[in-house]
Amino acid sequence: MQRWSGMSEAKIAAVQAKFAELGISFELHKHAAVMNAQAHAEAIGDKVPRLAKNLFVKAKPSGELFLIVARHNADTNFNKTAKLLGVKECRMADAKVMEDKLGVAPGSATPLAVMNDANHEVTIVIDKEFETGPVGVHPLTNEATVVVSGEDLKKFVESYGNKLKYVEFETAAPKAAAGGSAKPAAAPKAESKEAPKKQKQEKKEGKKEAKGDKKEEEGTGTRLAIEYKKTENFPMWYQQVITRSEMIEFYDISGCYILRPWSYSIWEHIQSWFDAQIKKLGVRNAYFPLFVSQRALQTEKDHVEGFAPEVAWVTRSGKSDLEEPIAVRPTSETIMYPAFAKWIRGHRDLPLRLNQWSNVVRWEFKKPTPFLRSREFLWQEGHTAFATKEEADKEVLEILELYRRVYEELLAVPVVKGMKTENEKFAGGLYTTSIEAYIPVVGRGIQAATSHCLGQNFAKMFNISFEDEKGERRLVWQNSWGLTTRTIGVMVMVHSDDIGLVLPPRVAPIQVIIVPIWKKDNRAQIRERCEAVKKILVDAGVRVELDDRENYTPGWKYAHWEQKGVPLRIELGMKDLENNRVTAVRRDGSKSDKKETHISMDDLARAVPTILEDIQNSLFQKAKETFLAHRSVCTTFDDMLKALDKRNVVLAPWCGRSECEEDIKKRTGEAAKELEAKERELEEAGVVQESGERLTGAAKSLNVPFEQPELPAGTKCVGCDHNAAKWVLWGRSY
């Protein structure tokens, strides 16, 4: 039996109350949460004969908002839809707009959401097929479906005063499936006389699909193809990439997400590599409790103030209030350090170097983004204690270098190592070092990982001291450092394209996928050769799988595995068998770059690892070139603003004063508001912007790079009249 979340219960109850008020009869069906029309159909089965798919679109240049309610096989191509709506152009509206106007999240769009549209801003457009007869729609949550008559659906919408119009959608032409949301394609019928010809044509069409054939219509619900362009609607593009590649499943608590095996495997590769490296340094793994007492959390004032807005508290057990609220760890300093005080007695107990792989909860109030900014996330957190500051300083940089290697050597993402300013350092610490990455399409920097020297502040608060060789009591020097599942989000944003996910081979769950091209009379031969190819590659240390499913066409498989980002595809058909070879297709690069390569069976064990390494290096070089192309050097505030508005990060001279840093943040924030207003005007005038995400927010210091260009004497600060002391990397950030 499907159980609803409390939030879903409340939404369904609100809809039911309105139905009762209007005298509307209905059927209610529970099911698992669904994110698209096909998943909805599969979840509900044959209980509801007519389900609605919903598209939330925005007209250009008018800015009008429409919720389209159409049957599954309706042709909702945007060009045709715009004509039906009587507008010049339309495209998918931002998910944030849908949440603001209709109060529903992606996957839960429904005409019943007019009850949340207080200003009646959304026009409901219903397929004429639904004018009469039953139709199934979500009751504000994608965990259930209500079935009402077309007449009652009209009554419901009109009761709230929203505009309502019926349009006659054409039926979409049947298309070959091209992704996991589609029903399995029929296996080729080899017994037909036309089979060889059909098989050849099928392979040709399959390759066309795998390259993202532009003739595919939007909104058909019969394919996995990404419906948004990375440069046009970045937030929705990102959401589709991570859901359709089967990395993330949404959860009914906002800001919390299910990491599916495809993304968790990437985290395991990062975890395995990093764990081995820190053990070489003498760090050992441990585990500390999830909860921290209020008393312990408040021991260090600066520390708790830094996290206070994000701390989640447990206040009840069953029906009883707890005597003292218990916090869910936002980080573990105040959990671990009372134990450190017990375990460290003399200089022989040092250094103490512990790490734990765990989850933490930070109740973010900014817009949650899977991987990048979630309320619960996975990480490793290292906590260490030393006898001297020199030892602590050394470790801070050793760990930071490992973090650089995770990003650059595993994820193929370039980063900048540096020191955080006093304003941006870890609360309660002595100093913070970081690596900073850059997301090109949106022009934002992002903190990739941090390594902190905590100094002796926590040692004083928790009385962590030791007896030195002279018999004197001294406070320890401490560090903390952490790397999170944010790594995965940064990698996706940097490398992926309009087809879907692009994975660096070193972290790809599957590095090579083998797709057989067979007919009934040669299936056994082809399968045997595919198994031989797989064994050769496994023995060569390659992570490889054979997709020998017989109810999917080769073209479907090409598109499916490309969307999941598998770095290399190996195809094996009759010609390959006859010529003792395989055909290899790389995933990196644009559509036009995907060229086939033939590899001899005798050369497989050498050639495939070489290609994978070349893909890894190619992804890094491409990302590095893009990063450098968007890193501007500016010496005046006006030039800095111009560079930021062009979606760049900026290397600029700075005096080192905290008040100047705050002033720069304030002035760039004001400029961002002006820019946002201009972008809105352009959008309303029908001018397409470079990216679907506006350049909002103030710029701040990302870090003070360790690699400092020469700073000529007398160089002025970018933000004031003082002389500059150092070069700082600035940018709008996540």
* Cα–Cα distance measured from residue 392 to residue 454, given in angstroms and rounded to the nearest whole number: 9
> What pLDDT does 191 receive?
37
Residue 308: left (phi > 0), alpha (psi -120 to 50), or beta?
alpha
Q: pTM for this one?
A: 0.74
> What pLDDT does 689 receive?
55
Q: Which letter does DSSP use for residue 190 in this model?
A: T
* Cα–Cα distance measured from residue 686 to residue 696, given in angstroms and rounded to the nearest whole number: 20
> What pLDDT does 181 receive?
34
pLDDT digits (tens, 9 = 90+) for 64-117: 999 999 988 888 888 889 989 999 888 888 877 888 899 888 888 999 999 999
Q: Which letter does DSSP use for residue 716 in this model?
A: B
Contact present, 247 and 500 (Cβ < 8 Å)? no
Interacting residues of 174 by C-beta distance below 8 A, sequence separation 6+: none
Class of domain 6-167: alpha beta
As a CATH number, domain 631-731 is 3.30.110.30
Q: Which letter does DSSP use for residue 575 in this model?
A: H
Give the sign of the dihedral formed by CA 184, CA 190, CA 195, CA 199. Answer: positive
Interacting residues of 127 by C-beta distance below 8 A, sequence separation 6+: 52, 69, 70, 71, 74, 166, 167, 168, 169
* Cα–Cα distance measured from residue 620 to residue 613, given in angstroms and rounded to the nearest whole number: 11
Task: Assign a CATH topology to domain 257-289+331-495.
Answer: BirA Bifunctional Protein; domain 2 (3.30.930)
DSSP 205-254: HHHHHHTT-TTSPTT-SS-----S-TTT-HHHHHHHHHHHTTSEEE-SST
Alpha helices in 72-194 (DSSP H): 78-85, 95-102, 150-159
Task: Spell out, as residue ranges, where the chain has pLDDT lower than 50.
Answer: 1-2, 175-223, 592
Say what angle helices 261-280 and 486-495 make with each other, to 10 degrees: 120
| CATH superfamily for domain 512-626 | Anticodon-binding domain (3.40.50.800)
Among candidates 94, 97, 96, 68, which has minimal Cα distance to 81?
A: 68
Interacting residues of 27 by C-beta distance below 8 A, sequence separation 6+: 48, 146, 147
Interacting residues of 660 by C-beta distance below 8 A, sequence separation 6+: 654, 717, 719, 720, 722
3-state helix, strand, coil in the chain (%, to 5): 40, 25, 35
Contact present, 556 and 176 (Cβ < 8 Å)? yes
Domain definitions of the chain by residue range: 6-167, 257-289+331-495, 512-626, 631-731
> What pLDDT does 255 receive?
87
Contact present, 483 and 277 (Cβ < 8 Å)? no
Neighbour count for residue 353 (Cβ, 10 Å): 18
pLDDT digits (tens, 9 = 90+) for 228-261: 899 988 988 999 999 999 999 988 888 899 999 9
